[in-house]
Amino acid sequence: MRDAARGSLKRAACRSPLNDVWLAPSLFTDNPFHAGVSTPTATAVRSRIARRRLIARLKDSSLTSFLEFGLAEPITRALAEEKYTVPTPIQIQTIPVALSRRDVIGIAQTGTGKTAAFALPILHQLFTERRQMERKACRVLVLCPTRELAGQVLDSFKAYGRHVRISSALAIGGVPMGRQVRSLMNGIDVLVATPGRLLDLVRSNALRLGQVEFLVLDEADRMLDMGFIHDIRQIVAKLPAQRQTLFFSATMPAAIAELASKMLRDPARVAVSPAASTVERVEQRLIHVDRNAKPSILADLLKREPVNRALIFTRTKRGADKVVRGLVKAGIAAEAIHGNKSQNQRDRVLLAFRKGDVRTLVATDIAARGIDVDGISHVVNFDMPNIPETYVHRIGRTARAGADGVAISLCDGEEKAYLRDIEKLIRMTIPAKRMQAVPQQETPHAPQHAPQEAAQDLQTQPAARPQSNQPHRNGSLRPHDGARKQHGHQHRQQNGTSPGQNQQHSRKDGERSHQHRQHSRQDGAPRDQNQQHNRQDGERRHQHQQHSRQDQHKRPPDAARDATREADGNIAGVAFLNRDAKSKRNSDRRWSR
């Protein structure tokens, strides 16, 4: 009984106030995933206790500076250079938990600082625990759904870790793989990749995943939408079991929750807002339109709205190009970005969009997922998304970093079902109005005369002749004959011709037509003669062929072959002479005309 009581007291003394799970002091190690392997050090125990106290303090108050996280000095210096002073809510909740080496599920909207939330604790671990890398290996693996997003994540790692001296590389598709293979040859600290290209490097033995310590999945729900779920499972199967996994997503569908349960171990759930909620600073509008009226209404909106930068979403690549052509035709400069564009073209368009050279960008959901551009004032859904969660990601491109934004959706009759699913997901009704097609401006006509000038013009014009109601040749009346004669008279006056001149022209035209008919009759006779000659030539050719067949039985084979050739030559000669004579007759006839 005494031993049992003593054991219970020890367990109570070692019970953690944060998660109510007792931790035996003899099982503490530097790496929490290797518990019981080696004897702990006093420094590791104190560091673990300090981190747990920091997490407990976050429940009562929020941090107001990055200095309070206890990050390494080179990282805080880089943050000061980037003018990062106050952490965002997702960073306040994620950084301390990630520093304790615990798995994290982070749910936050786009533009809330998720990249810094996982990059800063990872850089701190790389700085404090340096080690020599093996060939073709990496310590940190970050998976992103799109090339643009992968490039931006790598830029963030370089900016925050400029004083940490880390090695990094980018592995994305659309570019040659040789340079990526060479960058991985000696091993690197941070590798940011898309799932498809990462598997290509693994299969070609250019990369080994057995040394990965940190795995980050950014925009996990988008990876599910793009069909990367099977690739992710293959990648996770090649990773070591003892690792830290940071899982971030803007929404949490059932499939994503199931994937997270298999990849993470006892994760800490961090959510700064309800799943699939929209940004509060975004002003959402809905316009019911006809399908054919969307291009004109879009052009009218971009001309009326105070647009700084506009991002327009379409559902297909072909639709994006079609929207660009319509905007350019309406006098609005625009560019498109989608999967059919080469990587160089996409980089060039994004650079121009960031600089402000292009203020209107049309994109598909896949390509636009990695667009992190400040100053996007308007997001327009030209096509309503068929996946409700995509709506949250689309409008999250605006109102970033505390700014305001406008999200306008054009919904036709066939997309009302998508609208109902979106409103059900975001738990609100989008304010709507009805708009018709914008009428096209007509080309300006000649200016009309004033009433007084018009009256003077009427006085100077000749009086109109009375309408003639005389019967026609067949006995019927033509009530508008008078108006027709008046119109003809005015036309003749304008052209400077008289009725007598018109009659002379008519007689000349009649004579020409009579001569043409005579020539046609003359041409008919030679045509008949030519047809007779052709019939005679056919009869002669048939007779020659019969004679040649009869001679084949009387002559030797060689002689019969020579005779047949001679007969064919004679026939061809006769036909040539007939054609020559025919062409000569036609030439003489033309000269006679």
Mean pLDDT on 227-255: 89
Mean predicted lDDT score pLDDT of the chain: 75
In angstroms, rounded to a whole number, what is the distance separating the alpha carbons of residues 73 and 84?
A: 14
**Tokens matching residue 113:** 């600082």
pLDDT digits (tens, 9 = 90+) for 582-591: 666 665 655 5
Please check whether residue 101 is in contact with residue 118, taking contact to mean a CB–CB distance below 8 angstroms.
no
pLDDT at 454: 39
Query: What's the confidence (pLDDT) of residue 378?
Result: 94
pLDDT at residue number 511? 66
Name the nearest CA neighbour of 275 among 260, 294, 262: 260
Q: Which residues contact 411 (CB under 8 A, 6 or more apart)?
A: 286, 287, 288, 289, 384, 418, 419, 432
pLDDT tens for residues 357-377? 999 999 998 765 667 788 899
Rounded average pLDDT over 398-425 = 89
pTM for the model? 0.57
The sign of the dihedral angle between the CA atoms of 142, 148, 151, 153 is negative
Strand pairing report for 268-271 and 188-193? unpaired
Q: Is the Cα torsion angle 549, 550, 551, 555 positive or negative in sign?
A: positive
Token output for 36: 């019981």
Q: What is the pLDDT of residue 579?
A: 62
Closest CA to 392 of 417, 424, 350: 424
Task: Tell me how far apart the alpha carbons of residues 380 and 377 are, in angstroms, rounded to a whole number.
Answer: 10
The reported pLDDT for the residue numbered 463 is 43
**pLDDT digit string, tens, across residues 465-521:** 444 444 444 444 444 444 444 544 454 454 454 555 555 655 666 666 666 566 555
Least confident of 35-49, 242-256, 299-313, 397-411: 35-49
Report the run of H or E that residue 245 belongs to, with start and end.
strand 244-249
Q: Which residues contact 285 (CB under 8 A, 6 or more apart)?
A: 406, 407, 408, 409, 430, 431, 432, 433
> What average pLDDT does range 418-446 have in this prediction?
73
Taking 50 as the threshold, does the pLDDT of residue 19 lie above it?
no
Structure tokens that stand for 524 in this block: 């008919």
Task: Provide the pLDDT confidence category of residue 214 given band limits of 50, 70 and 90.
Answer: very high
Instruction: Give the mean pLDDT of 144-168.
Output: 92
Mean pLDDT of 429-435: 86
Whether 125 shows a pLDDT value over 90: the answer reads: yes
| Residue 259, pLDDT score | 86
297 or 513, which is more confident: 297
Q: Which helix (H) or strand (E) holds 270?
A: strand 268-271
479 token code pair = 């009530």
pLDDT of residue 147: 87
pLDDT at 372: 73
Give the residue, 539 or 593, on which the prediction is more confident.
539
Cβ neighbour number for residue 93 with a 10 Å cutoff: 25
- Least confident residue range of 138-152, 244-258, 388-402, 574-588: 574-588
Between the alpha carbon of residue 444 and those of residues 164, 302, 547, the distances in Å are 67, 24, 83
Q: Give pLDDT, residue 116.
A: 93
Q: Which residue has the higher pLDDT, 253 or 32?
A: 253
Residue 76 has pLDDT above 70, yes or no: yes
Whether 69 has a pLDDT exceeding 50, the answer reads: yes
pLDDT at residue 74 greater than cutoff 60: yes
What percent of the chain clears pLDDT 90, i.e. is strictly above it? Answer: 39
DSSP state letter for 241: S
- Least Cα distance to 188 among 160, 208, 174 occurs for 208
| pLDDT-wise least confident of 37-41, 218-222, 373-377, 402-406 | 37-41
Q: Which of 150-159, 249-258, 308-317, 422-431 has the lowest mean pLDDT?
A: 249-258
Give the residue among 134, 130, 135 at the shortest CA–CA distance from 161. Answer: 130
Q: What is the mean pLDDT of residues 163-178?
A: 92
460 pLDDT more than 60: no
Provide the terminal-to-terminal Cα distance of the chain, rounded to the nearest Å.
138
